[in-house]
Chain A
Amino acid sequence: MKLMNRLVDVRKAAGNCIRCNVCTYSEWPDNYTLCPMYSHEKCFTYSGGGLMYIAKSLIDKKLNFDSKVADLLYTCSGCLACDDICEIIPYSEPYISHSDIVRLMRREAIRRGLVSPMKLKDIQAHIRSYEKAVSSPNISNNILGIPNSIYNNKAKRLLFLEWSFLKLEKKIYKSVLKLLVKIGEPIGGISDGGLNIPELYDLGFWDELKEYLITKFDFTGLKEKELIFTNPHFQEFFECKLSKFIPGYDNTRGRHISEVLLEGLKGGKLRSKRASKKMIVSFHDPCYLGRGLKIYDPPRSLLSLIDGVELREMDRNRKNSFCCGARAGNNYFPNFSRKTALERLKEFKKTGADFLITACPYCKVIFQKTLNKGKKDRVKDLAEFIEEHIE
């Protein structure tokens, strides 16, 4: 799949939307509303289809590309629900998804200087600050903090560290390392070099991203490795999007940490602690792990192998999961990100579960931010939860 450069290239796909509203809700018979914007305000404009009509109107110059349009484009949380269910747009030439059409419009918004100056400044500063950063699978010194007992830069497996989010992700990363030590298999490491690659992609900073990937990212020998991800946004980018920027690079072998841990538990390298009491947990399928990578079962299987755990599903689960709202980057609707998280947390509350487990650091952060003080510990990343309940 090639990277579209111009908005006009997607006119045919966007123009094929028949306003069937299928992009707003899940499959029959559940018909759950899945689009966070549509859930917030039921209006055609605020749906996958509405965004296609915006694209068509921009191309046909029926709509001025102004800051209000840009605001709405950045408010879409990119949850992939419309991509997953629509049978028209991705099947129309040039075979591009809703999300990628939105990203293309964002890219155009950046070109036109319509992104909030503050946001732009932040991101550009961020990019500049990593001008000297280099990411390579062949780092000789262990700068990733992987314990010497398992670190081997020649290992087949590489742990992908999201350096750009490390401050908030540190706890998850520490848990992952402890678990990997228990598994005991040699592992190398690689990082994003400090730049949030999928974020740049999602926000439309494609030119900057391409330059970064070509000049700063060392792909030598990467094809032979298996990359272990804790962040599904990175995994989805490396597995599904990287080839758009680095032609021919279309076979990143990624594995989510939940699959590695499940292997460890099943193989006896990890052992569940004896539980003193029953724990009811609910698993929130992160959009990029579920709809993006189609990984639904491993996290659930993993949780079911922990002694005392009872899994209780929220109404909207698996491919019908509802977004946490973390990636809704703007406020076309006031406090949209928080309101989306609240809607999901309300659903979690209904389950009566003790813990909300997720497997994406962004989900964890937004849920914790949204929950009242004293309740924040009820949200855990899968790796953290597993680490707490492993001998």
Chain B
Amino acid sequence: MKEKAIYRELEKAIGKDKVKVEDVVLTTYGSDISVTPYQKPSFVILPNNKEEVGKVLKIANKYRIPVTTMSGGVNVTGLTVPVEHGILIDLRRMDRVLEINIDSGYAVIEPGVTFSQFTATLARKGFRCQVSTGPGGSTPLGNYLMRPSGSLSNRHLDPILDLEVVFPDGSVINTGSSQFPKAGSFLRYGPHPDFTGLFCCSFGTLGVVTKAAVRIYPINESIRVNLAGFKNYESSIGYIKDIINNNIPEHCIIWCWTHYMAYEISNPHKGGMPIFPERLKDNPKTPPQGTPYNIVTVFMSGYEESMITNEKLLSRIAQKYGGNVLSRKEAEKLSPSMCSAWKEFYEEYHQPRMEGTKKYSMGRYMAWIVNAEPKNIVKVESFAVDKLYNSGARPVCYYSMPFDFGRSMFFRLFTYIDSEDKELTNRVQNTFKEMYGIAMRKYNAIPFRYRGGMGKIWLEKTPEFYSLYKRIKKVLDPNNILNRNMNIF
């Protein structure tokens, strides 16, 4: 009865074509690839603008219906799985690049803009953005709001400048310099408190973001992707710290050998290699003869002369840490698919088109992600790889990168598990929980994002912070309708 009344109101407010109640639609929004239990919403809303978002939120607030928002829905950890009988707002139709300011270096985008769309639009203007390691169909706004692990997070940890946010009472605010009429989005901070940051990593629990200004960068005259192989993770970290301190890279990433080998998957029906290279089942601590334990990709761009100088320097610094620079030919011998992905990711500034997603065919993606200081991340790598390997998960892969000029190191450990294997899935889930505890307790690491319902557990460890968070929540979303699926309020 109540649902009928809500439907009538929604339909009246934004039009029938944007309110979906057919079972066939609702069901497809009830789950993702993660282990998060299936929960069917009662309504899927596809708004075209912030006004419509505001109208929907007001109705939801009136009836106290939980609302879950998604920009593109590409998520592998259940963050956009709705609440049973709730409203799912899918923002994919708000997909306009509203402004590209090449003078100041920002673009204003709507939530439904995909990375593929954004990177292509920018490339045509000679610009680029921070590119996430997710697929091209994922959205910059969704990714950036969760603090990305993207292609430029070494220098610019946070790609967002300002936001437009809609609240459950239908009101709208702008953060950053765009709150000043006609000022544009050139500055995130001051003279007021940084409210942009309030909505980053709040996972949609405080408001619905309907627009964002994000940092963009010019594509420089000369571009280089330098590859260096190392015998262990500690050497890779030493190398990275050294080159960052000497202002060489724009960004760099450490790739475990099992990860770059994981790109070498091909469909047996199209010919080529087997679906799952056998050697990926091996312990990642013992790479095959002649295979570097880690490859560090260093991305540089600028004037050609400085590139030539930097390449020489990189060779010298790699040797200092027992490593060696790999030629493109050598790297291609190791992993042609990964080389092609690196080229697209770094040299063309967009997500790998094909090889980037193929590895998901190996099964359910399960990841464990932490950040820690460089000296601690070395210890984290050492215990975490063993722990996941001993759980029986195969393959065990990781990649790691510096954030904020190496102040912290990001470490993402993951595996692909047969989605039908529930026993192993549970075991890995429990192993991850245990690993978070160890990493936080012993190595002062902090978790990267909420996943697997861990948000509340982590918040409870910091009661003062949690209390403030709850007070803010009470002001912005008094009826707790927003992203209740995060289970933190």
B27: which of A27, A43, A54, A86 is its contact (CB, 8 Å)?
A54
Taking the closest CB of chain B, its distance from the CB of A288, in whole angstroms, is: 18
* CB atoms of B44 and A29 under 8 A apart: no
Please give, as numbers and ranges, the residues of chain B lying within 8 Å of A196 by CB-CB distance: none
Q: 8 Å CB contacts to B: which residues of A68-88?
A: 68-69, 72, 86-88
Please give, as numbers and ranges, the residues of chain B lying within 8 Å of A89 by CB-CB distance: 361
* CB atoms of A87 and B420 under 8 A apart: no
Taking the closest CB of chain A, its distance from the CB of B260, in whole angstroms, is: 17
* CB atoms of B27 and A17 under 8 A apart: no
Q: A22-B135, A50-B28, A62-B38 are in contact. Are A16 and B269 (CB under 8 A)?
A: no
Q: 8 Å CB contacts to B: which residues of A17-52?
A: 17-22, 24-25, 27-31, 41-45, 50
Please give, as numbers and ranges, the residues of chain B lying within 8 Å of A219 by CB-CB distance: none
Q: A16-B363, A44-B73 are in contact. Are A91 and B265 (CB under 8 A)?
A: yes
A25: which of B33, B90, B116 is its contact (CB, 8 Å)?
B116
Taking the closest CB of chain A, its distance from the CB of B240, in whole angstroms, is: 29
A92: which of B75, B137, B361 is its contact (CB, 8 Å)?
B361
* CB atoms of A44 and B92 under 8 A apart: yes
Q: Give Cα distance in the complex from A17 to B28, angstroms.
A: 11
Q: Give Cα distance in the complex from A1 to B419, angstroms.
A: 22
Q: Give Cα distance in the complex from A66 to B24, angstroms.
A: 9
* CB atoms of A16 and B360 under 8 A apart: yes
Q: Give Cα distance in the complex from A42 to B134, angstroms.
A: 21
* CB atoms of A57 and B419 under 8 A apart: no
> With an 8 A cutoff between CB atoms, is B268 at the interface?
yes
* CB atoms of B33 and A28 under 8 A apart: no
Please give, as numbers and ranges, the residues of chain A lying within 8 Å of B160 by CB-CB distance: none
Q: A42-B46, A43-B90, A92-B361 are in contact. Are A87 and B22 (CB under 8 A)?
A: no
Q: Give Cα distance in the complex from A361 to B46, angstroms.
A: 37
Residue of B nearest to A23 (CB): B137
> With an 8 A cutoff between CB atoms, is B74 at the interface?
yes
Q: Which of A11, A24, A56, A87 has its CB near the most chain B CB atoms (within 10 A)?
A: A87
Q: 8 Å CB contacts to A: which residues of B357-389?
A: 357-358, 360-361, 363-365
User: Using a Cβ cutoff of 8 Å, how many contacts connect chains A and B?
Assistant: 146
* CB atoms of B25 and A95 under 8 A apart: no
Chain A proximity mask over B112-153: 1 for CB below 8 Å, otherwise 0: 001011011001100000000011111000000000000000
Taking the closest CB of chain B, its distance from the CB of A372, in whole angstroms, is: 27
> With an 8 A cutoff between CB atoms, is A90 at the interface?
yes
Please give, as numbers and ranges, the residues of chain B lying within 8 Å of A19 by CB-CB distance: 32-33, 72-75, 137
> With an 8 A cutoff between CB atoms, is B30 at the interface?
yes
* CB atoms of B360 and A88 under 8 A apart: yes
* CB atoms of B137 and A62 under 8 A apart: no
Q: Interface stretch among B230-238, B291-299, B347-355, B394-402?
A: B347-355
* CB atoms of A87 and B27 under 8 A apart: no
A57: which of B27, B75, B76, B117 is its contact (CB, 8 Å)?
B27
Residue of B nearest to A89 (CB): B361
B28: which of A1, A29, A45, A87 is its contact (CB, 8 Å)?
A45
* CB atoms of B120 and A18 under 8 A apart: no
Residue of A nearest to B136 (CB): A28
Residue of B nearest to A86 (CB): B357
Q: Give Cα distance in the complex from A16 to B416, angstroms.
A: 10
Residue numbers of B with Cβ under 8 A of A are: 17, 20, 22-25, 27-33, 38, 40, 44, 46, 72-76, 90, 92-93, 95, 114, 116-117, 119-120, 123-124, 134-138, 265-269, 275, 344, 350-351, 353-358, 360-361, 363-365, 418-420
28 chain-A/chain-B pairs, Cβ below 8 angstroms:
A12-B418, A18-B357, A18-B360, A19-B33, A19-B74, A20-B136, A20-B137, A22-B137, A25-B116, A25-B137, A27-B353, A28-B116, A30-B120, A31-B116, A42-B46, A43-B20, A43-B46, A44-B73, A44-B92, A53-B27, A54-B27, A66-B23, A69-B24, A72-B24, A88-B358, A93-B275, A95-B267, A95-B269
Residue numbers of A with Cβ under 8 A of B are: 1, 11-12, 15-22, 24-25, 27-31, 41-45, 50, 53-54, 56-57, 60, 62-64, 66, 68-69, 72, 86-93, 95
